[in-house]
Structure 1
């Protein structure tokens, strides 16, 4: 390869060195005085100051547009938000008419889109927090509606409403939500057998049976009249069992998210990874981290407000609609609280992602039975309310039979539309039973 050398004259070199020294002295501050040279150089930088107002206005424009885009995504994009005006209408009816039947109905409808948007905001936030914290967020906010309603009812001393609404959430998730998901997925994918991770289903079934055991012993202790201290032993046993159940649920979260992560990886996720599907592109977040937190806080506050009106209207609605309080608590309230789970479980089942469907339906039932119910007992203990795990024989028997039916449905690791139809029909039997069930009063239950 030919190399070409250039010769620079010495005079040119000295001239360049002199220019560099002059520039260096000017940059060190020697030329920045009141001389014409300094004024000329400063005038050369004056145009930079005019950039800052433009940049600030552009930043405000970006922030304003980002705020409007977030409102559009969360409020206007989802079609279910057409039901949002029912919430303010319920508040107006509460103060103008006082008709508890209409207030209860409008509040019930108004909470449905809020429950769905709570699930959406939690899902968006989980994109930024990672799988471990995301799982904890789903455990905390996935059943936020049920928790808020239960806290208001517990504060008002409506212990039976708390017990029956939480029990109804478990029954609704295990029978109605899972049944509709299996039925829809089976119809869409009728030409093949849908499969899911059987190991995760077995562990969740075991936890549900543990919850049944925690609820059964206080009821059996009470109705067999075998307490050491009548009326107080079941309360002490309930509080002790609740603490044990909370420890078991915390251990389950650690086991699922840390200890056995590979065991619980969804089958559909492994299949898509083998096909080269990029989940980050498919499930990219639509709103930012702080927008997710802000919307989560705003939606929780609005759900809390509407839950107060809902709880206050339960007894009046029971008289106005000629429905038992047990039917309203076990059937109607959980349908509202499980609106988000219902929609997402069906959607994932139709996409042949049954592992996510089971995580939504059975996982939510596990959260309620092993976390929300004992948590309400502990909170009632702190508040001085005698909230216990004695759900009465009828409710406890309903839960026990439901857990057995679902456990047998899940033991093969497959799903089809016939299994879904059976679960839906079982839920109709449960709903009809609670419609005809008369909840015993406190005095009758002590005899």
Structure 2
């Protein structure tokens, strides 16, 4: 039933979006329409990557889901950079970190925990990811903020470019470590039990085709969505910070939001955690650095300098996630704790 609703929304939303943009319908109406269309398209991306996950296994499946989920946000952010909306882009990166670590992981732990009293996942992956989270958020994001106090804009941008290159290199090394040199070394005993029995919804070629088409459609809708931000912000009294942290982050990450929760409900916590934490690492160590480098080709360049509330919120989310996930087990109360932290931060960003 849900799939049929998303199918109708996707197939109706794309042509209506085209018509509305050509006829210059009200920005507020188009903002809502674009968001719904992107979420519907993201559901197809989620289903396609879920099919690929069954074939490829939890690690590669989770990586694919995070990659194509973040592709939506990357596309939105590039068009926002082109429009000079640097604050929205930085806020959306913050929102992705908070959304994945607190909202996605929180909902996954909560929904899965209601059905199963205890859910286990690969504790070695959890500890490996903890170190990367500490490095990516607390080291790589805090350092530019601290050093920028004593630097001019040119030097701050140079520092950000240097950090961006290092982050991308380390992210690629982390993938090589997990998927090549240490593949299977830290494998949990129960991994793969259910993947052999489950049939993918779509075949490999069909899933890849749907991913490609959905990504192209999302790119078109995203470009139009960015142009509505200013008008919508004035209409609802929202700040660019709130739009980036909450609205863009939720819409841009809709695919992995749904997939992680579904996987947790099926007790496939390795995939659910890989999506939530893996997506965060990808945002911090790949998407953000790529945006810094891409911004060099636009009139206004972006430095990796976040506001103090953004930095404290991200660091708090990382520390809370590490504390709750380092034992390799979870339950519904831990999920509720993560959700509570997300809503507290959401209220704060709304009132700023």
TM-score (norm 1): 0.73
1:83 to 9, 14, 17: 9
Q: How far apart are residue 88 of structure 1 and its match?
A: 3.3
Distance of 1:120 and 1:82 partners within structure 2: 15
Whether contact under 8 Å (1:127, 1:285) holds in the other structure is no
1:15 — aligned with what? Answer: none
Larger relative contact order (Cα-Cα within 8 Å, sequence gap ≥ 6): 2
Indicate whether 1:242 and 2:150 are aligned: no
Could you say if the C-alpha distance between residues 131 and 199 of structure 1 is closer, same or farther in structure 2, counting changes exceeding 3 Å? closer
Shift of 1:89: 3.0
CA shift digits 1:340-362 (9 cap, x unpaired): 21222112212222111101111
State the 1:130 CA deviation: 8.3
**Which residue in the other structure is 1:431 paired with?**
346
**Structure 1 residue 80, shift from structure 2 partner:** 2.5
Match 2:321 to one of 400, 403, 406 = 406
Paired residues for 1:117-128 under 5 Å: 117-124=44-51
Distance 1:303 1:355 in 2: 28
Among 100, 105, 108, the alignment partner of 2:27 is: 100
Residues of 1 paired with 2:61 and 2:327: CA distance? 29
Aligned counterpart in structure 1 of residue 135 of structure 2, from 192, 210, 214: 210
Secondary structure class of the residue paired with 2:304: coil
Kindly indicate whether the alpha-carbon contact (under 8 Å) linking 1:91 and 1:309 is maintained by their aligned counterparts in 2: no
- Whether the aligned pair in 1 keeps the contact of 2:63 and 2:274 (CA below 8 Å) is no
Structure 1 distance, partners of 2:189, 2:351, is 42
Q: Distance in 2 between matches of 1:108 and 1:206?
A: 34
Alignment of 1:345-360 (within 5 A): 345-360=260-275
**What is the deviation of 1:78?**
4.6
Between the aligned partners of 1:201 and 1:288, the Cα distance in structure 2 is: 29
Q: Secondary structure at the match of 1:234?
A: helix
**Structure-to-structure mapping, 1:43-82, within 5 angstroms:** 78-82=4-8
1:154 pairs with one of 81, 90, 111: 81
* TM alignment of 1:308-319, pairs within 5 A: 308-319=223-234
Root mean square deviation of aligned Cα = 2.4
Equivalent residue number for residue 226 of structure 1: 150
Q: Secondary structure at the match of 1:261?
A: coil
The residue matched to 1:387 in structure 2 has which SS?
Answer: coil
Q: 1:285 to 1:351 in 2, by over 3 A?
A: closer
| 1:197 has 2:122 as partner | yes
Asked whether the equivalents of residues 256 and 264 of structure 1 are also in contact (C-alpha less than 8 Å), the reply is no
- Describe the shift of the 1:125–1:357 C-alpha distance in structure 2 as closer, same or farther (beyond 3 A): closer
Deviations 1:330-381 (A, max 9, x none): 1011111222212221122122221111011111111111110011111112
Q: CA deviation at 1:164?
A: 1.1
> Which range moves more in the overlay, 86-95 or 299-308?
86-95
Q: Which of 82-91 and 149-158 deviates more?
A: 82-91
Q: Does the 8 A contact of 1:172 with 1:335 survive in 2?
A: yes
**Residue in 1 aligned with 2:253?**
338
**Paired residue secondary structure (1:232):** helix
Paired residue secondary structure (1:323): coil
Cα distance change on mapping 1:140 and 1:343 into 2, 3 Å: closer
Whole-Å separation in 2 of the counterparts to 1:255 and 1:329: 33
Q: Which residue of the partner structure matches residue 99 of structure 2?
A: 172
Q: Do 1:87 and 1:109's aligned partners in 2 also have CA atoms closer than 8 Å? A: no
State how far apart, in whole Å, the 2-side matches of 1:183 and 1:139 are. 20
Report if aligned partners of 1:239, 1:378 keep a CA contact under 8 Å in 2: yes
Do the aligned residues in 2 keep the contact of 1:135 with 1:257 (CA within 8 Å)?
no
- CA apart distance, 1:322: 1.8
**Counterpart-to-counterpart distance in 2, 1:309 and 1:249:** 31
1:181 counterpart (90, 94, 108): 108
Number of residue pairs aligned between Structure 1 and Structure 2 = 350
Look up the SS of the partner of 2:110 in the other structure: helix
Given that residues 292 and 303 in structure 2 are in contact (C-alpha distance below 8 angstroms), is that contact kept between their aligned partners in structure 1? yes
Cα separation, 1, equivalents of 2:157 and 2:210: 39
1:323–1:382 distance in 2 versus 1, CA, 3 Å: closer
Contact 1:199 1:264 in 2 (8 A): yes
The one-character-per-residue Cα deviations of 1:76-123 (angstroms, maximum 9, x if unpaired) are 955432322234334433343542111111111110011121233344
**Cα distance in structure 1, aligned partners of 2:54 and 2:271:** 16
The two structures have a TM-score, normalised by structure 2, of: 0.91
Q: Using a 3 Å threshold, how does the CA distance of structure 1 residues 357 and 138 change in structure 2: closer, same or farther?
A: closer
CA contact (8 A) 2:98 2:314 kept: yes
Asked whether the 8 Å contact 1:90–1:104 carries over to 2, the reply is: no
Separation in 1, partners of 2:261, 2:57? 25
